[in-house]
Amino acid sequence: MRRIIINTTIILIAFAIQNCAFPFIPFLSAAPNLMIIFVFTCSFIYGQREGMFYGFITGVLMDLFYSGPFGFFTIIFVWIGYVNGTLSKYFYEDYIVLPLAICSVNEIVYNLFIFIFRFFVRGKADFLYYFRIIILPEMIITLLFTLFLYRFLLAYNRKLEEIDIKRGQKVA
């Protein structure tokens, strides 16, 4: 229970930083997607159920903040949590290449979802422009942040597991 409360608090803080602070940093051409980093990290470490849970929380938060049909972001984040949770059986703590590859794929799928359902259906079909201006810079900056945040999130989740084990609580 402690982990769920702390992770939800981290989601809220990351959401605030992503949407309120990063857009005002002048040297960032794109903002890193902290929500994707958090959802894929939790689902990659703990599996499908927790990945879908944190994907749901993140998606609802994004749907509340951004306009459009409610559930648009929830669908993509729950899907990201589910798919990445299936990869948890390939999880190795010290292996950083697989999480970076997963983050890249997640970022591309997330932005393709947005492109198809927000731009393409309205007749704006210049994918190469969207890829060059939006997807590529955001993917690069998200990968750079993943290098730092993945290790931090991994270490802190392991520390929470140790605390729960010492107190005799069931680890989900």
Question: pLDDT, tens digit, for every residue of 6-28?
Answer: 889 999 999 999 988 887 877 76
* The pTM of the whole model exceeds 0.85: yes
Q: Residues in the chain with pLDDT < 50? A: none
- For residue 61, which of 97, 16, 24, 105 has the smallest C-alpha distance? 16
Q: What is the pLDDT of residue 45?
A: 84
Q: What is the pLDDT of residue 170?
A: 61
Domain 2-23+31-166 sits in CATH at 1.10.1760
Q: Do 45 and 157 contact (CB within 8 A), yes or no?
A: yes
Q: What is the pLDDT of residue 73?
A: 94
Encoding tokens for residue 53?
Answer: 């849970």
Q: Phi, psi (5° rounding) for residue 137?
A: -65, -40
| CA 87 – CA 90 distance, rounded (Å) | 6
Q: What is the pLDDT of residue 93?
A: 66
